Chains A and B, each alone.
Chain A
């Protein structure tokens, strides 16, 4: 446990100096500032206004770009250390493979989650100063959702990183994974349903397995309980699972997916050549 903590802290310190983290913090911190500057809280779309309007815009932005940022930065993790001989050196120290692998994941998780939770917290604080009503339940759900979104893609990224031998392969695969997830969101599923006359159950299953789709739908569900602004696949899912059931699913499924891929990545890392 002590070693796990030391590795987590060491990797946190190591990554906090990396350029990707600076860029990442600027993007997700800057996005909130930009939304305030652009007056998003003053505008009204589909009945959303004030801080709720800002939060829904921010969460949509996060669902769109956070996964690819996490994938690109995480796939370098194990394979990058391997290529630069950092792995060879650290694994010559008395560190268990579990401590090394999970320490890296936990450090990354905190690194990813801290800027976005600070941005959300900052937005809420600024909203209070400005006298805007704070939708606490939405803020809480979104924080949880962003944490789980980060964990899910972190797990997928670590799985890829543990399986490839070159960083280029890892980057290519992460972009491919991201494109596949994007291809199977609601809008494209509508096209599939109409053109290929695929069975509804298949479409719904694909939608339910796609974490990007799940997050996208879950993010809108709080404001649009009927999902009138979303595509038909979301509507069918909501019809089958119900409001509470789907909200729970949007949190539990990606959380399980993140753990599954992290664990598979660990098994691969532990069984193969380490360097």
Chain B
């Protein structure tokens, strides 16, 4: 679906993407991770045809700058920061629906409602005047309403409250059987349950491209023991959420989780990395 061969992008003398080669197929659900400046946003923008690049990049077999309307009609995009659009919510919804051949005003309304945003109630408000969470919900609704074949999201849930975040990820789970997803995020724990492949970038290169095979350990119950250097209230709460038990009142936690949850578990305990004395998973 997306074919990238020896992709390079330079800004002046700085190489931002360095010899990237990737094949992204239908149904791939990718977590694009990496530190700031790793090249994630540049890669996303290159896929969207917004940069002139060296190397080869095709989506649906076509070059995105040459066939941008045809390609982008099948791509949904949610930016990290909502742009300061002055249009009213109603105008933006109608504009988006009129530009896309796959989206409709009604479908945008349905998607927004599912995320907890009442478009009719906010239709006269300027997009710019909405709260951060409302803006993000609307942008997600606009992207999902077009039933995209490829969904690209840059930190999509950053401004959402926990409930909307849960609904949003549930919506993605419902949509993901047919949709190829590329999610750039700093919070791997949030999207780990959604993805089946992790691409890690650093200094413009892909340093890890791992397919998570659900078959391996996927259905197995894993037993885990974590020992911290000292008692920690937040850790108590976290392990309680995972149904772990505390051993003899000591900062020792034992419990289990299903194999597919291991990435999410490890990411969530990584917050206490400085306090972990011992960690074992069997």
Residues of A in contact with B (beta carbons under 8 Å apart): 2-3, 6, 10, 13-14, 17-18, 84-86, 88-97, 271-275
Q: What are the residues of chain B within 8 A of A13 when measuring CB–CB?
A: 86-87, 91
Asked whether any CB of chain A lies closer than 8 Å to the CB of B130, the reply is no
**In B213-231, which residues have CB < 8 Å from any A CB?**
none
- Residue contact A94 to B79, C-beta cutoff 8 Å: no
Q: List 20 A-B contacts (CB under 8 A).
A: A2-B98, A3-B99, A14-B86, A17-B86, A18-B86, A84-B83, A85-B84, A88-B83, A89-B77, A89-B79, A89-B85, A92-B50, A93-B96, A94-B72, A94-B99, A273-B51, A273-B52, A274-B49, A275-B50, A275-B51
Given contacts A6-B95, A84-B84, 10 further A-B contacts (CB under 8 A): A6-B98, A10-B91, A13-B86, A14-B85, A14-B86, A14-B87, A86-B84, A88-B45, A89-B85, A275-B45
Asked whether any CB of chain A lies closer than 8 Å to the CB of B100, the reply is yes
- Residue contact A85 to B83, C-beta cutoff 8 Å: yes
In the assembly, what is the distance between CA of A89 and CA of B139, in Å? 10
- Nearest B residue to A99, CB-CB: B69
- Residue contact B98 to A91, C-beta cutoff 8 Å: no
- Nearest A residue to B51, CB-CB: A273
Query: Which of A10, A17, A90, A92 is the one whose CB lies under 8 Å from B75?
Result: A92
> With A10-B95, A13-B91 as given contacts, are A92 and B83 in contact (CB-CB < 8 Å)?
no
- Residue contact B50 to A91, C-beta cutoff 8 Å: yes
Asked whether any CB of chain A lies closer than 8 Å to the CB of B73, the reply is yes
Q: What are the residues of chain A within 8 A of B84 when measuring CB–CB?
A: 84-86
A83 CB, min distance to chain B CBs, angstroms: 10
> With A6-B98, A14-B85, A93-B100 as given contacts, are A88 and B68 in contact (CB-CB < 8 Å)?
no
Asked whether any CB of chain A lies closer than 8 Å to the CB of B48, the reply is yes
Q: What are the residues of chain B within 8 A of A92 when measuring CB–CB?
A: 48, 50, 72, 75, 77, 79
Q: What are the residues of chain B within 8 A of A89 when measuring CB–CB?
A: 77, 79, 83, 85, 139
Q: What are the residues of chain B within 8 A of A3 when measuring CB–CB?
A: 69, 99
In the assembly, what is the distance between CA of A85 and CA of B83, in Å? 6
- Nearest A residue to B11, CB-CB: A273
Q: What are the residues of chain B within 8 A of A273 when measuring CB–CB?
A: 50-52
- Nearest B residue to A2, CB-CB: B98
- Residue contact B95 to A271, C-beta cutoff 8 Å: no
A76 CB, min distance to chain B CBs, angstroms: 13
Asked whether any CB of chain A lies closer than 8 Å to the CB of B126, the reply is yes
- Residue contact B52 to A271, C-beta cutoff 8 Å: yes
Query: Which of B50, B81, B85, B95 is the one whose CB lies under 8 Å from A274?
Result: B50
> With A274-B50, A275-B45 as given contacts, are A96 and B87 in contact (CB-CB < 8 Å)?
no
> With A10-B91, A88-B50 as given contacts, are A94 and B100 in contact (CB-CB < 8 Å)?
yes
- Nearest A residue to B152, CB-CB: A92
In the assembly, what is the distance between CA of A3 and CA of B73, in Å? 13
In the assembly, what is the distance between CA of A88 and CA of B91, in Å? 19
Chain B 52-71 interface 0/1 with A at a Cβ cutoff of 8 Å (1 = within):
10000000000000001111
- Residue contact A91 to B52, C-beta cutoff 8 Å: no
In the assembly, what is the distance between CA of A273 and CA of B77, in Å? 18
A196 CB, min distance to chain B CBs, angstroms: 42
- Nearest B residue to A84, CB-CB: B84
B224 CB, min distance to chain A CBs, angstroms: 41
- Residue contact B69 to A96, C-beta cutoff 8 Å: yes
Q: What are the residues of chain B within 8 A of A90 when measuring CB–CB?
A: 83
Q: What are the residues of chain B within 8 A of A275 when measuring CB–CB?
A: 45, 50-51
In the assembly, what is the distance between CA of A72 and CA of B232, in Å? 58
- Nearest A residue to B100, CB-CB: A94
**A6, A86, A88, A96, most chain B CB atoms within 10 A:** A88
- Residue contact B99 to A93, C-beta cutoff 8 Å: yes
B249 CB, min distance to chain A CBs, angstroms: 51
- Residue contact A86 to B48, C-beta cutoff 8 Å: no
In the assembly, what is the distance between CA of A190 and CA of B73, in Å? 59
A73 CB, min distance to chain B CBs, angstroms: 14
B212 CB, min distance to chain A CBs, angstroms: 28
- Nearest A residue to B84, CB-CB: A84
**A2, A6, A10, A96, most chain B CB atoms within 10 A:** A10
- Residue contact B91 to A94, C-beta cutoff 8 Å: no
